[in-house]
Structure 1
Amino acid sequence: RGVAVAWWTSIAGISAWVSAQLAFVAVLGVGGARVASGALEVSSLIAFLLYLFYLVAPIGQMVQGVTQMQNGLAAVKRIREIEELPAEEAAGAAGAVGTAPAGVSFEGVAFRYGDDRPVVHHDVSFTVPAGGMTALVGPSGAGKSTVFALLERFYEQQSGTISVDGRDIGQWPLGELRASLGYVEQDAPVLDGSLRENLVFAAPGVGEADIRRVLALTRLEDLVARLPEGLETKVGHRGIMLSGGERQRVAIARALLRRPRLLLLDEATSQLDAVNELRLREVIAEVARETTVLVIAHRLSTVTTADRIVVMEAGRVRAVGTHRELLDDDDLYRELAATQFLLPT
């Protein structure tokens, strides 16, 4: 539809311009010949040319109006297509949500994004104990991010069971399930507003004591002290006033203010330098004392201290263990560690 509109706009604009020029040439040619033969006064020819000039602007506006109408019709059609897409159930109010760390279990999960798409998960099974840090590692395309999408019920698995606190996520009210989860993505969004507004965006009623607790937990107290107006300082578009590590810690602090029972971190350190990565690793370790942390990592240095590491490859779980156990028992993990210079000397 967009291509058709672009075609119509091009053809209509060119046609209107060419038509106006041809009309001018025709009037001037025919009128000039009649003036030369004495059949028409020069003043009449000038009048016809003025009439033509007066008509050009309205004709151009009419063409522009038709073009805009085509654009509008294309937009309306696209909106209707979006409205007709299948929608998930209404999340509704979250109700009372606990604060205790939540455990997760995948049992024989198989999933694909569509009937015509390849299978992403093949009989995926693993458990995440309540509390502490569990990491998902593996090469790109292994299905790690899909684990998060299924946990948040953005998609439904074709088979198998996904449980949170021993309860199938299909039996959780959607609002309650998502209120129990905190999610920090790879490119953590920071909005154009004050630091306080960014922190309390998902928990507007949170108290000052909770904000101070989370600032201490995420090592942001020095940042607040350094900013000219403290928490009220504007951080700029996409948090331009903050470094990459500070933006990630702000995103984690924002998630923690919701008091999630399970914190999902998707490649939280992928864009950080070594110093900021070390600070963020310390923050994640501190957070793991309060809640369950499930982290996706390509940098194994981020998760070497994790309580449990799940190694995925081609949509399957191939090994589970600690960093030391996997170095001894799993060839893929040992290869990943070697490429990142993490093998013991």
Structure 2
Amino acid sequence: MQTLRNFWRLAGPFWASEQRYPALLLLVATVLMTLCMVGVNILTNFWNLHFYNALQALDYAGFILGSVQFIALQIATAVFTVAAFHFQQKLTLRWRRWATHNLLAQWLGNQRYQKLKLTETDVDNPDQRIAEDIDLFIIKSLKLSLGLLTSVVSLFSFLHILWQASALVSVPFAGEAIVISGLLVWIALVYAVLGTGVAFWLGRALPRLNFMQQRREADFRFALMRLRENADSVAQYQGEAVENARFTQRLDAALENFWALVKKQKLIMGYSTFYLRSATVIPMFIMAPQFFAGMFPLGRLTQVSAAFGEVHAAIAYLVEVFPELSEWKSVIDRLIGFQERLDTVEVQSQVVAGQQTEGLQINDLDIWLPNGRSLLKGFNLSLKPGDSLLISAPSGCGKSTFIRTVTGLWPHARGSASYDRERTLTLSQKPYLPLGSLREALWYPSPPDHDSDTALHLAMQQVGLQHLGDQLDQEHDWAQILSVGEQQRCAFVRALLARPAVLFLDEASSALDATNEARCYQLLKQTLPDTILISVGHNTSLERFHWQVLELQRETQWVHRTVRQTT
């Protein structure tokens, strides 16, 4: 029941969304086509009766008529199968588009993607949850639910045939032939229930193994992706042997779990194959004495045998789809786990986020780590347009955390911070360069402004990137092409183009030599005279570009001092 509740928690929002009406139409069309296929199966069952009776009676005209009917039934089956597939795939497409956009909106909303990384270390491979698990969830849900519908309809459709046929079967008892009402139905029911119970017992470990397989496969792919992203660093360290050992370890873990999964699947496959195939001969053995006694013709025997198979298959549906059912459950578990992380991650900082058009004001700011260790207590700061602050401290003392706190990304803090949040930009130590053209990367996160090409080329020339001016519209993975220093200068171009009211620089010039660093900061001071600069850095040479310095002297003891600007 918990799995069904989790299923509806994932599926319910789609069926309550603005997409519900077209989705319902597609679902109804799919169900109608499925029911039509069941109808064709019922007609085929009666075709068995007349066709094999014609064979037994050596009725050639009946044989020809039956052959024509058979062709018509197969054409109908093909038409309804294709139509059902068409409507089901259109529904899958619509559902997947909505579900993916919805989960992406939650993941990106309130910057949960970043806060999950900071606070939820057990969230593995969110990219797989969004890209693969949603697709699997929808495909498996539709397939299993439509299969269940087909089984239920088939069960009640053929139950009547099988119940009537039970009257033809007599059981010898105390010298008399006893007719048990619905004997074939009860036999099919008992056989299916016992078979289903054994299948569930044999495959009870499959959901856990499927869950672990998806995780370990994703971990292996992620390790390969990390090498591609850091190819230069690995090559410089000559770390190929270490990386190969790490790949081997993750691959072995995936293959070990895969083989455990295969062993369970072999057991289930062998059992279900024998179990499902053996059902087809059970009614023949039961009805054989009466058939050979001439109490009913061959057509009746084949019709009852086919009806028994349909009823048994309907009741034993869960046995046939148990491997898929276990995979469906593991997909739901992965998605619901990810959804719960998104729902429970602390998205709102305790720092009151104020909005003001000029200046920056911080009051009573406290910052601490998740383990409770304090980084900053009762800090106050007031900056006017054009002011600048340098935060200086050894690594690991909370400099970057200070910027995350002021910008609302760090949840373990309290106080208030007010500034023009609509005109704010943060330059990090390793700038993000999105896939696409260099022009898009330089304007990120704003869309490119082709009317400002003159300003763009000027800014590139000022920071020393004029050699890239003829490559603005080329699409590459620029993070792999440009050096870290060039990437940081790209970030300074962004700042010059965006002209923010408040600019945070989190070791944004750490890869630049002293000359280029001074040139970039000088450009900021000259081009953006009213912009508030808050920088994190280790180099004391940065002090000359800032009015104030926040410096850590002892643990949690920060000194806020004013320095004389020399430029």
Q: 1:232 to 1:207 in 2, by over 3 A?
A: closer
**Residue of structure 1 in register with 2:561 after alignment:** 320
Using the size of structure 2 for normalisation, the TM-score is 0.40
After the TM superposition, which residues 102-181 of structure 1 pair with which residues of structure 2 at under 5 Å, given as runs? 102-114=358-370, 117-155=372-410, 159-164=414-419, 177-181=420-424
Q: Is the Cα contact below 8 Å between 1:182 and 1:264 reproduced in 2?
A: yes
**Residue of structure 2 in register with 1:84 after alignment:** 343
Q: 1:301 to 1:144 in 2, by over 3 A?
A: same
CA RMSD of aligned residues (A): 4.0
Shift of 1:183: 0.6
After the TM superposition, which residues 216-295 of structure 1 pair with which residues of structure 2 at under 5 Å, given as runs? 216-217=458-459, 219=461, 223-224=465-466, 226-227=467-468, 229-234=470-475, 236-270=476-510, 272=511, 274=513, 277-289=514-526, 290=528, 291-295=531-535
Q: 1:317 to 1:11 in 2, by over 3 A?
A: same
Give the secondary structure class of the aligned counterpart of 1:253. Answer: helix
Give the secondary structure class of the aligned counterpart of 2:403. Answer: helix
Q: Is the Cα contact below 8 Å between 2:427 and 2:491 reproduced in 1?
A: yes
Shift of 1:284: 1.7
Bigger helix share: 2
- Report the Cα distance in structure 2 between the residues aligned to 1:237 and 1:261, rounded to whole angstroms: 30
| Higher RCO (CA 8 Å, separation ≥ 6 residues) | 1
Shift of 1:222: 5.4
Q: Is the Cα contact below 8 Å between 2:362 and 2:416 reproduced in 1?
A: yes
**Residue of structure 2 in register with 1:311 after alignment:** 551
Give the secondary structure class of the aligned counterpart of 1:111. Answer: strand
Q: Is the Cα contact below 8 Å between 1:182 and 1:255 reproduced in 2?
A: yes
Q: Is the Cα contact below 8 Å between 1:110 and 1:160 reproduced in 2?
A: yes
- Report the Cα distance in structure 2 between the residues aligned to 1:71 and 1:281, rounded to whole angstroms: 55
Shift of 1:77: 1.3
Deviations 1:137-162 (A, max 9, x none): 01223322222122212346755443
Partner of residue 434 from structure 2, selected from 191, 201, 226 = 191
Letter in 1 for 2:343: E
After the TM superposition, which residues 4-15 of structure 1 pair with which residues of structure 2 at under 5 Å, given as runs? 4=208, 5-6=211-212, 11-15=260-264
Letter in 2 for 1:247: Q
Answer yes or no: is 1:212 the counterpart of 2:454: yes
Shift of 1:267: 0.9
**Residue of structure 1 in register with 2:331 after alignment:** 72
**Residue of structure 2 in register with 1:182 after alignment:** 425
Q: Is the Cα contact below 8 Å between 1:311 and 1:317 reproduced in 2?
A: yes
Give the secondary structure class of the aligned counterpart of 2:492. Answer: helix
Q: 1:144 to 1:179 in 2, by over 3 A?
A: same
Q: 1:11 to 1:317 in 2, by over 3 A?
A: same
Deviations 1:176-213 (A, max 9, x none): x432211111110112221211122323264533x533
Answer yes or no: is 1:298 the counterpart of 2:538: yes
- Report the Cα distance in structure 2 between the residues aligned to 1:81 and 1:238, rounded to whole angstroms: 35
Give the secondary structure class of the aligned counterpart of 1:186. Answer: coil
In structure 1, list runs of 5 or more residues that go unmatched: 24-60, 90-94, 165-176, 326-345
Q: 1:74 to 1:281 in 2, by over 3 A?
A: farther
Using the size of structure 1 for normalisation, the TM-score is 0.62
- Report the Cα distance in structure 2 between the residues aligned to 1:127 and 1:218, rounded to whole angstroms: 33
Letter in 2 for 1:249: R
Shift of 1:252: 2.4
Q: 1:221 to 1:251 in 2, by over 3 A?
A: closer
Aligned identity (percent) is 18
When Rg is computed on C-alpha atoms for both structures, the one with the higher figure is 2
Letter in 2 for 1:192: L
Deviations 1:163-187 (A, max 9, x none): 33xxxxxxxxxxxx43221111111
Shift of 1:323: 8.1
Q: Is the Cα contact below 8 Å between 1:190 and 1:251 reproduced in 2?
A: no
Give the secondary structure class of the aligned counterpart of 2:372. Answer: coil
Answer yes or no: is 1:16 the counterpart of 2:265: yes
Q: Is the Cα contact below 8 Å between 1:196 and 1:232 reproduced in 2?
A: yes
Letter in 2 for 1:130: P
- Report the Cα distance in structure 2 between the residues aligned to 1:199 and 1:185, rounded to whole angstroms: 14
Q: Is the Cα contact below 8 Å between 2:365 and 2:380 reproduced in 1?
A: yes
Q: Is the Cα contact below 8 Å between 1:13 and 1:63 reproduced in 2?
A: no
Letter in 1 for 2:429: Q
Q: Is the Cα contact below 8 Å between 1:136 and 1:310 reproduced in 2?
A: yes
Q: 1:296 to 1:221 in 2, by over 3 A?
A: closer
Q: 1:217 to 1:82 in 2, by over 3 A?
A: same
Q: Is the Cα contact below 8 Å between 2:405 and 2:413 reproduced in 1?
A: no
- Report the Cα distance in structure 1 between the residues aligned to 2:418 and 2:421, rounded to whole angstroms: 13
Bigger strand share: 1
Give the secondary structure class of the aligned counterpart of 1:121. Answer: strand
Q: 1:228 to 1:273 in 2, by over 3 A?
A: closer
Deviations 1:54-90 (A, max 9, x none): xxxxxxx95653453243122221232034225449x
